[in-house]
Structure 1
Amino acid sequence: MAHTDSITTLLTDGAPKPAGHYSQATVAAGHVYVSGQLPIRPDGVALPDEGFEAQARQAIENMLAILAAAGSGPQHLVRVTAYIVGVAHWPNFNAVYAAMLPDARPARTVVPVPELHHGFLVEIDAIALVANGD
């Protein structure tokens, strides 16, 4: 993590490196702000040709890896926003999300969009608390 005043930027090998001018996450005032995560494996391999469920799983795995690197986890999630291509994918997203985060029930918004970068079907971002040793 790199410190800039009271804001810490995060970079972990557990998620894909940023492809633009942003951080995987920033930590400030006891919160972790996770940038939008696409279905790209940590090694940089993109999954645009995989089905929706596989893409959703990878995006959530990336978010969870970043939370872990920040000293947080699913139990500390405060808010999650998911962007999905087509409202028809909402039930599938909900099923994958519930299976991967069974005990986490943060505030959540699912936003149907017409398209995402590189033909991906899902992107997810989050805000969580930094764990205090629990």
Structure 2
Amino acid sequence: MKRILLLLAFLLCTGLSAFAQKQIIRTDGAPQPVGPYSQGVVAQGLLFVAGQVGLDPATRKLVEGGLEKEVPQIMENIKAILAAHGMDMTHVVNTTIFMKNLAQFEKVNDLYASYFTRDFPARTTVGVDAIPAGGAIEIAVVAVVPFRKRKK
């Protein structure tokens, strides 16, 4: 019995060791990092997407038009990072939103809702003084990697 327990413990530990690794996600479909961070990192069965602002991936400049243009660009950037790992918005389980002007919360809800139609992720929204690149909003997400995508 003791040998069986030791064998099971060994198999469990070695089988889970693959989840202790991290994988860096990169795509040209989203803006390249402007500092020492990655667009996305897979670890422990989760994909952590770095906070995105409304930068156009081609020009690396903030899209013009304020919140109404920034949110769709941000969400497209997030979708591109998810897609680089074979995922989509249905895999998102948590969203963190940083806004310069919380009075625009309803507008963000309207724009956000078009990307999540059911089984909504958990969400936190925080008011901040400044956003990188002079943006009005920044959004970061965490997504669950489907079991078939997890590498051993």
- TM-score normalised by structure 1 residue count: 0.89
SS of alignment partner, residue 63 of structure 1:
helix
Matches of 2:76 and 2:119 in 1, distance apart?
14
1:91 aligns with 2:106: yes
**Residue range with higher mean Cα deviation, 120-129 or 42-51:** 42-51
What residue is the counterpart of 1:13 in the other structure?
A: 28
Structure 1 runs not aligned, ≥5 long:
none
- The aligned runs of 1:79-118 (5 Å cut-off) are 79-118=94-133
Distance 1:63 1:89, change over 3 A: same
What's the C-alpha RMSD, in Å, of the aligned pairs?
Answer: 1.7
Matches of 1:77 and 1:124 in 2, distance apart?
12
Aligned-pair CA distance for 1:48:
5.3
**Residue range with higher mean Cα deviation, 97-106 or 121-130:** 97-106
Q: Is the 8 A contact 1:17 1:44 kept in 2?
A: no
What residue is the counterpart of 1:61 in the other structure?
A: 76
Larger helix proportion of the pair: 2
Q: Is the 8 A contact 1:48 1:121 kept in 2?
A: no
Q: Is the 8 A contact 1:79 1:128 kept in 2?
A: yes
**Residue range with higher mean Cα deviation, 114-123 or 33-42:** 114-123
1:73 aligns with 2:113: no
One-letter amino acid of the structure 2 residue matched with residue 69 of structure 1? A
Aligned-pair CA distance for 1:133:
4.7
What residue is the counterpart of 1:31 in the other structure?
A: 46
SS of alignment partner, residue 100 of structure 1:
coil
SS of alignment partner, residue 43 of structure 1:
coil
Matches of 1:28 and 1:19 in 2, distance apart?
22
Q: Is the 8 A contact 1:84 1:110 kept in 2?
A: yes
Structure 2 runs not aligned, ≥5 long:
1-19
Matches of 2:91 and 2:100 in 1, distance apart?
27
Over the matched positions of the two proteins, sequence identity in percent amounts to: 36
- Give the paired residue count: 130
Matches of 2:59 and 2:65 in 1, distance apart?
15
Larger strand proportion of the pair: 1
One-letter amino acid of the structure 2 residue matched with residue 57 of structure 1? P
Q: Is the 8 A contact 2:71 2:111 kept in 1?
A: yes
What residue is the counterpart of 1:121 in the other structure?
A: 136
Give 1 or 2 for the bigger CA radius of gyration. Answer: 2
